[in-house]
Amino acid sequence: MFLQFLSLPILTRLLSIEDFAIVALGMVIPHFANTFSDSGFGKSLIRLQKFDHAEWSTVFWFLAAVGAGLAGIVMLAAPFYANATGVPELFAVMIVLALLPFLQSLSAVYQAWIERDFGYKKIANIMMISGLVSLATAICLALLGFGYWALVIQQILLVAVQFAAYAYVSEFRPKLTFHPKLLHLHFGFGVNTLLFSGIMAIQKQLPIIAFNQLFGTLAVSLWSMSERLSRFPKIGAVGPFSRVAMVAMSRQWRDGAGAADTGQTYLASSRLLAIFLFPCLIVAAFHARPVFAWVLSEPWGDVAPLFGLAVPALLAELVSSIGGKVFMAANRTDLRLRMSIERFILGTILFLLALPFGLEAAIAVRSIFAVIYMPRYWRYMNKCVPLSIMSEAKVLVLPACVGLVAAILGHYIRAPWDFSTLQDCAVVVCLCIIATGVTVLLTYRQIVNDMAWLRNSTK
């Protein structure tokens, strides 16, 4: 997360807003292909109690073929997509980015092996090394005047280094064997997970396409930067939490006998995420402009209102990402798929209806719907674990309220003073720290209990 945060102030000053728009548009189809890269089979392997070398090897070669096919589809789509968007540069960009789904497919089984063995320190080291290599390369290329290619190569190197490191660190080595029958166990889980990921990818990429068509590349740049900024809590907190939660819940489930324990792990994870992320993100939603203007440079200050409007949807997504592991542990990916289809249809209709009213209106409606849909999401999840909607909502209320109070106080603190951008930025950062600190003090006992529960759940 730190490396990602470090790269943005440098790259936003070396590259143009147009460069970021080209890469954001160029990533639409490769990102969609990436969601199919492990076909859900990697997560399915993690659920297995016993290791079968032939089974894991079969999945590896199957995914290698899937990755090669996805890369070919991205390449074939490149000329048509570049013509449809009116951005000819996208043809070459997509040809290069076609490597992403192939490399992700090759990495899936190696990564599953490491996660299954709770090798999260290894994963952390790999992420840091790949981040450093890709960041240093991107900065060098940007300094040399390579423009948007600096961002493209950064994406490729990030995934390529991770693949090489996962393959080196993992003890798994695929055999030259392939038994189609061994794939059958994973198809139900994999297909549902695959379709769910595809729907989520369309939902994520739809705003980029719509904003480009209606509002132009500037809107795409601002929105894509908002999305980049939202990755920080996902990479720094939600990603590690959800990975560990998936393995822990799979062990706790015990064919349904451990449903209550699985639900408790969801509550503990959600509460900790809310305590440490909600107050800061809510304050940022109201007061992020000076921070973005100082960190990214003044032209990027216009990202702040879009980011602020998108924060409620981001908070809902953070909570839902942990809930998604409940469906996987319970092998009820069919429920998650049904829920995602329902949410996608309703959300897309509302989003498209709001588009004629402007960029901000569309983002606001998207966020409002995400929050309103949460009780419905929990109702689906509660078919797997014995939790009430009230108990699930309760863990989010206090952190959200503290964040709102801090945001309102921030308005009265900042309004009377003519702060410089740097001073304003410092005030906002202090508000985030104070809001998080107050939330921690108010929930300290719960934090201790939740941490103890999560530690025990991984043994």
Q: What is the DSSP string of 267-333?
A: HHHHHHHHHHHHHHHHHHHHH-HHHHHHHH-GGGGGHHHHHHHHHHHHHHHHHHHHHHHHHHHTT-H
- Predicted confidence at residue 341, as pLDDT, reads 92
Which one, of 46, 64, 94, lies nearest residue 329 by Cα? 46
- Predicted confidence at residue 197, as pLDDT, reads 74
More confident site: 307 or 255: 307
Least confident among 36-40, 201-205, 215-219: 36-40
Quickly state the pLDDT bin for 46 (edges 50, 70, 90): low
Average pLDDT (87-97) is 92
**Gyration radius of the chain over CA positions:** 22
What's the CA gap between 313 and 361, in Å, rounded?
A: 14
pLDDT at 426 over 80: yes
Model pLDDT for residues 63-83, shown as the tens digit of each residue: 888 889 999 999 999 999 999
- Predicted confidence at residue 186, as pLDDT, reads 61
Model pLDDT for residues 296-342, shown as the tens digit of each residue: 888 888 899 999 999 999 999 888 888 888 988 888 888 888 999 99
- Predicted confidence at residue 459, as pLDDT, reads 64
What's the CA gap between 415 and 352, in Å, rounded?
A: 36
Least confident among 43-47, 119-123, 199-203, 424-428: 43-47
Which one, of 60, 267, 31, 249, lies nearest residue 173 by Cα? 60
Quickly state the pLDDT bin for 356 (edges 50, 70, 90): very high
- Ramachandran category for residue 385: left, alpha or beta (phi over 0 → left; psi -120 to 50 → alpha): beta
Quickly state the pLDDT bin for 188 (edges 50, 70, 90): low
Three-state SS for 211-265 is HHHHHCHHHHHHHHHHHHHHHHHHHHHHHHHHHHHHHHHHHHHHHHCCHHHHHHH
Average pLDDT (385-409) is 93
Which one, of 331, 429, 341, lies nearest residue 383 by Cα? 331
Q: How far from 450 is each of 266, 272, 331, 446, CA to CA, in Å?
A: 10, 7, 25, 6
- Predicted confidence at residue 94, as pLDDT, reads 93
Average pLDDT (88-96) is 93
Average pLDDT (30-42) is 74
Model pLDDT for residues 268-296, shown as the tens digit of each residue: 999 999 999 999 999 999 998 988 888 88
pLDDT at 240 over 80: no
Quickly state the pLDDT bin for 149 (edges 50, 70, 90): very high
Q: With beta carbons less than 8 A apart as the criterion, state whether 186 and 44 touch.
A: yes
- Predicted confidence at residue 298, as pLDDT, reads 84
pLDDT at 201 over 90: no
* Mean pLDDT computed over every residue of the chain: 87
> Residue 368 burial by CB count (10 A; 0-12/13-18/19+): exposed, middle or buried?
middle
Which one, of 100, 110, 128, 116, lies nearest residue 27 by Cα? 100
Q: How far from 382 is each of 270, 319, 332, 352, CA to CA, in Å?
A: 15, 14, 11, 30
Q: Give me the phi and psi of 259, to 5 degrees please.
A: -60, -40
pLDDT at 184 over 70: no
Model pLDDT for residues 217-233, shown as the tens digit of each residue: 888 888 988 988 888 88
Q: Cβ of 402: how many Cβ atoms within 10 Å?
A: 25
Q: With beta carbons less than 8 A apart as the criterion, state whether 20 and 225 touch.
A: yes
Least confident among 101-105, 192-196, 271-275, 449-453: 192-196
Average pLDDT (409-420) is 84
Quickly state the pLDDT bin for 434 (edges 50, 70, 90): very high
Q: With beta carbons less than 8 A apart as the criterion, state whether 428 and 419 touch.
A: no
